[in-house]
Amino acid sequence: MKKFRSFRNKKKHLSSKYILLILTGVCIVALFTSLVFNLSGGPLNSVAGYVFVPMQKGINNAGSWISGKANDFKTLGEVLKENKKLQNQVDDLTNQLNVTKLEQYELDNYRELLDLDDKYSGYQKVAANVIAMDGTNWFSSFTIDKGFKEGIKKGMNVIAGSGLVGIVTDVGPNFAKVRSIIDDSSNVSSMVLTTKDNFNVGGSLKSMNQDKVLPFTELRDEDDKVKVGDPVVTSYVSDQYQEGILIGYIASIEKNANNLTKSGTITPVVDFQHLREVLVITTLKDTGEKELSSQKASDTQTETQDNTETQKSQE
């Protein structure tokens, strides 16, 4: 039974193939006869029109479709290749732009330091880089990469940007720690530059977080001459800070309950969120140096007197 079915299928398959070959042969003969005898109006021509024209159209359409797809694949490949090339160019340009921005940022910082150096040209200064901070969002206290090997001493003033940053509180061989004026423990004897009135500017991280200002107190302004926007500098009566270093500008002002003094806020000129390079004024406040010299002289005099009395007692 299986052999019979196999033979039947094979016979059917062979018959279909032969039929197709016979029809193809007939078509070729008919076409050839029509061309040879120029039977333009005969039945063979009609048969050719019905048979071969649709076939030709189908072949042409298939060829056009295949050709279009090939062109599409070629175009897509070219686009992908060009896109990759352009992406590489964009990456290179982005890297160059980032490098340029970094160089511009550093250049601006150096120009700022040079301007600040010129502004306070009367003081000897050492440039330093900020290498660590206390972990908050503000540079309330930080570490620089210069120490006593470069002449840095405790009590030296630190400036950056357009004015006062803070004061050196601790010194190592190749580092120093700085407490900025925004630190809660900071207190700066200050002066309104327009009126020469003295008052105190205190550090406050809370005020900096809220409004980016620092509070001031004890301002005596009986004639109401101090106005918002007036510049504030370090006072000549300060025992820690050099005179005349810009701190900021009056942001608000109000009378106290005693009607004798005023309080308010100032806007610092230094950006205490983005400190990177600073200048350390290597000259200590004159009063501090005088007190130190006076103390040394007093100690020397006491030591001399003690030596004299010792010598007399021995005699």
What's the pTM? 0.61
Mean pLDDT is lowest, of 19-33, 176-190, 298-312, for 298-312
Say yes or no to pLDDT of 291 above 50.
no
Which residues touch 32 (CB under 8 Å, ≥6 apart)?
Answer: none
Q: What would the mean pLDDT of 73-97 be, rounded to a whole number?
A: 73
- pLDDT tens for each residue of 180-194: 999 999 999 999 999
Say yes or no to pLDDT of 222 above 70.
yes
Alpha carbon 212 to its chain centroid, in Å, reads: 20
Q: What is the pLDDT of residue 98?
A: 64
Short-list 27, 20, 62, 23, CA closest to 44: 27
Short-list 280, 275, 274, 242, CA closest to 127: 280
Mean pLDDT taken over the chain: 78
Which residues touch 186 (CB under 8 Å, ≥6 apart)?
Answer: 166, 179, 180, 202, 203
SS3 call for 48: helix
Structure tokens at 134: 């206390």
Which residues does residue 187 pair with via DSSP β-bridges, in sequence order? 202
Secondary structure E strands in the chain? 125-133, 141-144, 157-160, 163-171, 176-180, 187-192, 198-202, 214-219, 231-234, 246-255, 262-268, 277-281
Q: What would the mean pLDDT of 18-36 be, rounded to a whole number?
A: 66
Say yes or no to pLDDT of 310 above 50.
no
Highest average pLDDT, of 45-49, 53-57, 280-284, comes from 280-284
The sign of the CA dihedral 26, 31, 37, 41 is positive
- Domains in the chain (CATH in brackets) are 125-285 (2.40.10.340)
Q: Is 249 exposed, middle or buried (0-12, 13-18, 19+ CB in 10 A)?
A: middle
- pLDDT tens for each residue of 139-149: 999 999 999 99
Say yes or no to pLDDT of 301 above 50.
no
Confidence class of residue 202 from pLDDT cuts 50, 70 and 90? Answer: very high
Q: What is the pLDDT of residue 308?
A: 44
| Cβ neighbours of 1 (radius 10 Å) | 5
